């Protein structure tokens, strides 16, 4: 087992991540978890867990790391275990020395390889093969990533995501109708979302709609688009919402699951696109309804059904909160990652 022993575990974050500022916001009640993604909670399962930033690397430093990547990774017994959240930070972890083992999550790589081909990601493949273990957040990613990495690669584990249910606390269902959509990652589908919201407004002109997105599409009348929300603003917006609606394009990494779980944690029902892996997160609760990719009519229909029956929507939201507490908190996520680290 690679638990780090007395040397412990170091969670490495990107060089630009301001960890002291994050901790200050968390202490002030303005950010979830003490560290991003709740990895501070690893200290419940593993000894001596600390966090630090990966170093800023100059052009010369990058060249040196590329040369180092051609050598065996090297493992130093008695030194800490290194952990990173995703493959982009994992590239730097792969050539970070003085570690007994290295573990990383993989988020976007499987979709990138599927769309662009594996030859475009040879360097990423080499870096991930230097790890002692990897985890993904969707079971639909396990086989593609395993195939891409090839024989002799580290094991790939499926780890269910979680959110800070203390920060995204359950709030009484609102009286005023409001539809909320949040998220601007590369696999969101603003075209389908805004078509659906147009239909919602046509049927229920009394309903306000707020969309957090960086889309350049002009929103329909009655839909407010904002580019960015702080964590505290996002929490307050969920609290005002009657239903949260998410539209995504085809993907393997379960785009939208973070927002979906945060909404359920707040006690808000969810309408979301069904993509591979989504059933593992929302298939077991009445709080979520799933629609097909590109189905604007279905997204509008299910959203309106919840708006038109606020009593049932409130009950569904309460069920959603219980669903998160039962298996989708950051403490539970940390426990699953700790199992990956201990599995070696």
- 295 pLDDT higher than 70: yes
- Residues 6+ positions from 259 with CB-CB distance below 8 Å: 182, 183, 244, 246
- Average predicted confidence (pLDDT) for the chain: 94
Provide the pLDDT for residue 5: 45
Q: Tokens 């040196």 identify what position?
A: 64
Rounded to whole angstroms, the Cα distance separating 28 from 22 reads 10
Per-residue pLDDT reduced to its tens digit, 169-205:
999 999 999 999 999 899 999 999 999 999 999 999 9
In this prediction, residue 4 has a pLDDT band, given cuts at 50, 70 and 90, of very low
Asked if residues 254 and 275 have their Cβ atoms less than 8 Å apart, the reply is yes
pTM: 0.94
Q: What is the pLDDT of residue 64?
A: 62
Does 2 or 318 have the greater pLDDT score?
Answer: 318
Q: Per CATH, which fold does 178-327 belong to? A: Rossmann fold (3.40.50)
Contact assessment for residue 270 and residue 246, using Cβ atoms and an 8 Å cutoff = yes
pLDDT of residue 65: 65
Q: What is the pLDDT of residues 80-121, one digit of tens each?
A: 999 999 999 999 999 998 999 999 999 999 999 999 999 999
The structure tokens listed for 10 are 């170091």
pLDDT digits (tens, 9 = 90+) for 296-334: 999 999 999 999 999 999 999 999 999 999 999 999 999
b/e sequence 253-271, b meaning 16+ C-beta within 10 Å: bbbbbbbbbbbbbbbbbbb
Q: Is the pLDDT of residue 128 over 70?
A: yes
Burial of 27 (0-12, 13-18, 19+ CB in 10 A): exposed
pLDDT of residue 16: 92
Q: What is the mean pLDDT of residues 210-227?
A: 94
Question: Mean of the pLDDT values across residues 56-65?
Answer: 64
Average pLDDT for 48-70:
75
pLDDT given for residue 344 in this prediction: 74
195-210 per-position pLDDT tens digit: 999 999 999 999 999 9
Query: Which pLDDT does position 2 carry in this prediction?
Result: 42
CATH top-level class of 5-162+330-342: alpha beta
Quick check: do 5-162+330-342 and 178-327 share a fold? yes
pLDDT tier for residue 3 given thresholds of 50, 70 and 90: very low
Domain borders along the chain are 5-162+330-342, 178-327
């Amino acid at each position: 087992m690679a638990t780090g022993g007395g040397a412990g575990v170091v969670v490495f974050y990107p060089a630009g991540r301001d960890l002291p500022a994050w901790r200050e916001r968390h202490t002030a009640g303005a950010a979830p978890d003490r560290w991003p993604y709740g990895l501070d909670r690893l200290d419940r399962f593993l000894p001596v867990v600390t966090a630090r930033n990966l170093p800023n690397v100059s052009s010369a430093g990058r060249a040196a790391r590329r040369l180092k990547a051609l050598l065996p990774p090297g493992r130093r017994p008695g030194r800490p275990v290194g952990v990173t959240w995703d493959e982009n930070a994992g590239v730097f972890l792969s050539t970070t020395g003085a570690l007994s083992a290295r573990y990383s999550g993989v988020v976007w790589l499987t979709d990138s390889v599927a769309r662009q081909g594996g030859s475009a990601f040879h360097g990423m493949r080499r870096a991930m093969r230097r790890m002692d273990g990897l985890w993904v957040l969707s079971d639909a990613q396990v086989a593609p990533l395993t195939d891409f990495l090839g024989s002799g690669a580290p094991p790939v584990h499926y780890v269910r995501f979680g959110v800070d249910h203390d920060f995204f606390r359950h709030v009484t269902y609102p009286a005023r109708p409001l539809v909320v959509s949040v998220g601007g990652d590369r696999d969101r589908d603003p075209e389908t979302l805004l078509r659906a919201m147009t239909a919602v407004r046509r049927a229920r002109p009394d309903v306000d709609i707020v969309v957090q997105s960086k889309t350049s599409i002009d929103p329909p009348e009655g839909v407010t688009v904002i580019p960015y929300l702080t964590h505290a603003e996002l929490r307050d917006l969920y609290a005002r919402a009657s239903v949260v609606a998410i539209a995504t394009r085809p993907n393997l990494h379960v785009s939208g699951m973070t927002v979906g779980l945060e909404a359920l944690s707040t006690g808000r029902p969810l309408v979301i696109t069904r993509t591979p892996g989504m059933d593992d997160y929302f298939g077991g609760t009445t709080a979520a309804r799933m629609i097909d990719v590109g189905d604007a009519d279905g997204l509008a229909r299910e959203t309106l059904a919840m708006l038109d029956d606020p009593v049932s929507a409130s009950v569904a939201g309460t069920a959603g909160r219980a669903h998160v507490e039962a298996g989708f908190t950051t403490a539970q996520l940390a426990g699953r990652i700790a199992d990956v680290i201990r599995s070696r």
